[in-house]
Amino acid sequence: MPERVSDETKTARVVAASRRYVLLLHDAHTAEWAKTASRHLDLCVGDLVSYSSNNQELIVDSVLPRSNCLKRSYGRRSKELAANVDLLLVMTAPQPLFNTSFIDRILAAANTEAIDAALVVNKCDLTQDLQQTHNAISTYRNIASQTIELSAKTKTNLGELQNLLGDPQIRVAVFAGVSGVGKSSLINCLIPDAAQTVQDVSSRTGQGRQTTTQATGYIYRRDNMEDLCLIDMPGIQNFGLTHLEKAAVKNAFCDFTAVAQNCQFSNCMHLEEPQCAVKQAIESKDIAETRYQSYLEILDEIDRFVEY
């Protein structure tokens, strides 16, 4: 490795992170592993860091302030999934992969961090399951900022997603969803040589290939615009939200807050309170029952977590 100037500090985007090492992106084709200066420096994909170098390796000295951070919790711990997210693409697919609990949870997590989220339904070539899926999608038309139905396999409607990713304001977009919905396949459609880089990253960490095991960012080139970092997340089955306050969860269900001004009590949690406009909206099917089930499940988990 050539000798480097040691006192020069530069900034770069983190596109993969393990315990003490992060992969820093220099440009579309070169990324380099760097060591974090301290074990207390917690980094995740999407972070912008400043780094310097000694003769042997790159050293990450500090992390730049984040505009937001997508988090989930499991048990007593919470995990930072991605930072500085401009667009979250919540990916799903026809049944049995259309998991409303997952979708409701990650949309709530995005809402608490003011992250714009779109719903992407992949595998729309599997037409036999599509009618049921259409009904399920309609629930999210007013909740996600956009819903796109496409197929990574037949490339149907890929242009709609490309249009969305053509917004110059977007610098980091995250693909998240349960395992098998086709996140990696879709990123491969958008960036045909992404698979090669996937293998590079997995050989570095000694981890598998098919199922994504580590969040990884890829560069998506845009004409006359700055590059966009597309982050491929591992499939997440249990998206815990026990790090949130119950009131924050309530506010994160934006379809509830839209009607909640008509609840009798201004601090109504939409549980046992009388004259609750949210419960009335569920009865009249203006709000989907599955949304309320997800909400109750999350509150219940927080209660059990606090007692425990």
Ligand X SMILES: Nc1nc2c(ncn2[C@@H]2O[C@H](COP(=O)(O)OP(=O)(O)OP(=O)(O)O)[C@@H](O)[C@H]2O)c(=O)[nH]1
Catalog residues that contact ligand X under the rule CB under 6 A: 122-123, 125-126, 151-153, 177, 179-185, 210-212, 234-235
Q: What is the closest distance, in whole angstroms, from the C-beta atom of residue 199 to ligand X in the complex?
A: 13
Q: What is the closest distance, in whole angstroms, from the C-beta atom of residue 213 to ligand X in the complex?
A: 8
Q: Rounded CA gap, 270 and 273, in Å?
A: 6
Binding partner at 53 among ligand X, Zn ion, Mg ion, none, C-beta below 5 to 8 Å by kind: none
Q: What is the closest distance, in whole angstroms, from the C-beta atom of residue 146 to Zn ion in the complex?
A: 28
Contact residue for Mg ion among 202, 212, 214, 216 (CB under 5 A) = 212
Binding partner at 73 among Zn ion, ligand X, Mg ion, none, C-beta below 5 to 8 Å by kind: none
Q: What is the closest distance, in whole angstroms, from the C-beta atom of residue 255 to ligand X in the complex?
A: 26
CB 137 within 8 A of CB 143: no
Q: What is the closest distance, in whole angstroms, from the C-beta atom of residue 131 to Mg ion in the complex?
A: 27
Q: Count CB atoms within 10 A of the CB of residue 300.
A: 10
Q: What is the closest distance, in whole angstroms, from the C-beta atom of residue 275 to Zn ion in the complex?
A: 8
When asked if residue 291 is in the footprint of Zn ion (CB under 5 A), the reply is no
Binding partner at 57 among Zn ion, ligand X, Mg ion, none, C-beta below 5 to 8 Å by kind: none
Burial annotation 68-93 (CB, 10 A radius, 16+ → b, else e): bbbbbbeeeeeebbbbbbbbbbbbbb
Residues of span 246-275 touching Zn ion by CB under 5 A: 263, 268, 270
Q: Rounded CA gap, 8 and 257, in Å?
A: 49
Give residues with Cβ within 8 angstroms of 172, minimum separation 6: 13, 46, 82, 84, 85, 86, 87, 217, 228, 229, 231
| Adjacent-strand bridge partners of 229 | 172, 219
| C-alpha 47, offset from chain centre | 14
* Triad 272, 277, 283: Cα angle to 5°: 85
Q: How far apart, in Å, are the Cα atoms of 49 and each of 106, 125, 276, 282? A: 26, 41, 47, 46
Q: Rounded CA gap, 197 and 97, in Å?
A: 27
Closer of 183 and 291 to ligand X (Cβ): 183
Q: Count CB atoms within 10 A of the CB of residue 185.
A: 15
Closer of 125 and 273 to Zn ion (Cβ): 273
Closer of 112 and 122 to ligand X (Cβ): 122
CB 266 within 8 A of CB 278: no
Closest residue to ligand X in the complex (CB): 235
When asked if residue 184 is in the footprint of Mg ion (CB under 5 A), the reply is yes
When asked if residue 278 is in the footprint of Zn ion (CB under 5 A), the reply is yes
Binding partner at 37 among Zn ion, ligand X, Mg ion, none, C-beta below 5 to 8 Å by kind: none
Q: Which residues bind Mg ion (CB under 5 A)?
A: 183-184, 212
Q: Which residues bind Zn ion (CB under 5 A)?
A: 263, 268, 270, 276, 278
